[in-house]
Amino acid sequence: MTTETTTTDLTTVKGLMAAIEAPEGQGVEMMDPATGKLVGRAPQRAEADLDEAVATAREAQRSWAARSHAERSELLNRAADAVEDSAEGLAAVLSREQGKPLNGPNARFEVGACAGWLRANAAFEIEPEVLVDDESGKAVLEYVPVGVVGAIGPWNWPMMISIWQVAPSLRMGNTVVLKPSEYTPLSVLALGAVLNQVLPEGVLQVLAGPGELGAALTAHPGVDKLMFTGSTKTGQAIMRSAADTLKRLTLELGGNDAGIVLPDADPEAIAEDLFWGAFINTGQTCAALKRLYVHESQYEAMCQALVKVAQRMPMGVGLEEENVLGPLQNRQQYDIVAGLVEDARNGGARILMGGDPVQDQPGYFYPTTLVADIDNDNRLVSQEQFGPVLPIVRYTDLEQAIAWANGLDVGLGSSVWGTDLEAARAVAARLQAGTTWINKHGAVDPRVPFGGVKKSGYGLEFGVEGLKSVALPKVTSW
């Protein structure tokens, strides 16, 4: 099931597309969400292809697991080199299919993160742990491969999140069968083709196809662990599907991250970091800032500081170098965002900017929108918008702000903003989230474990803890 890449130049868009695209008249046409133009034809794999891929992965896993950590790490570093060699081509494919601009924290940033995460996972040290060593005997804890990892990725960061799944799995001696989102399959197929220039055959296989293919992957008896990033609803379905075979799970699910601005914060100083915490990838990020609570003493100043920043951030077609914000990736998400903004408007909220999309332009562009004077129970606050809209909620009492921040059944990330670090840390300790940042938001690091609480996730990714999550603990005692 691996793509033959030995004679194809994978550093260019043309070469990448030649390696991955379905023949004319076959596959599913993928359209640019910024222009409506054809990007390419994604091949569609069936359940029989999945069976073959899993069988191939199981066969390849034995020899892959037999390699040392040093040997697997060397191949991950070589894979990072290959990504860097193809970076411009990969970024262009990603920009055209997903919609995100080349510049800003977008397509080039994402491709660079792929290389960075590969190198980080290659560098982590994971040694046997001596648990007991005394007159009674000795016991050692090691981490051994799970086997075959089934990975299902999202459409918002299709390449980077695929690497979050692939890199630790491969480092720990597993093989991977990866099913990308049906909205962004070409991006992940292109990344897989680049990686497979270096990796042994069968170690990583990318199968594009409909949602039914993902469901078959989650239930497949030859898959030992599942990694999924996406909605809570789908994550719950995956847990049910995995129960019969007791597959191990890592689930990074939806969020509705809250940020609390304390009364001592400087609105002008934090406005740009707040903006990018909310609007990175045009708001299409699970751990983006999605509701902002601001003390009444700073409220108007904070609103105006955010407007100033937002007004100088150009939105447009991703391949145009000046843009840093792009379209929503698909019509379904566009309609969700537009409906939530209308709910806010109808509920009496004040639209500081945006909220009125141009109707006759191509693409799923929704303008950068800031919403003030909104009730905490409005749907724009209580539901994840996943787009370029930020509701700004006024609070008078810090206890109320903390209760509002903790009041939902999700808890991926959160943030606290202020100049008194001790006071900010005290508030951070009370927020119910897998990660709470102080004076920043969404700043993930491959060395720092990441995961959600409540309905935002199950398990951890990144760092040595992330390696352990794609392995099995084994104790040897004598």
The answer to whether 88 is a known catalytic residue is no
Nearest-angstrom CA–CA distance, 203 and 201: 6
- The number of residues in the chain equals 478
Out of 182, 286, 303, 384, the active site residue is 286
Nearest-angstrom CA–CA distance, 359 and 336: 16
The answer to whether 252 is a known catalytic residue is yes
Out of 21, 97, 110, 252, the active site residue is 252
State residue 355 phi and psi, 5-degree precision.
Answer: 85, -5
Active centre residues (catalytic): 252, 286
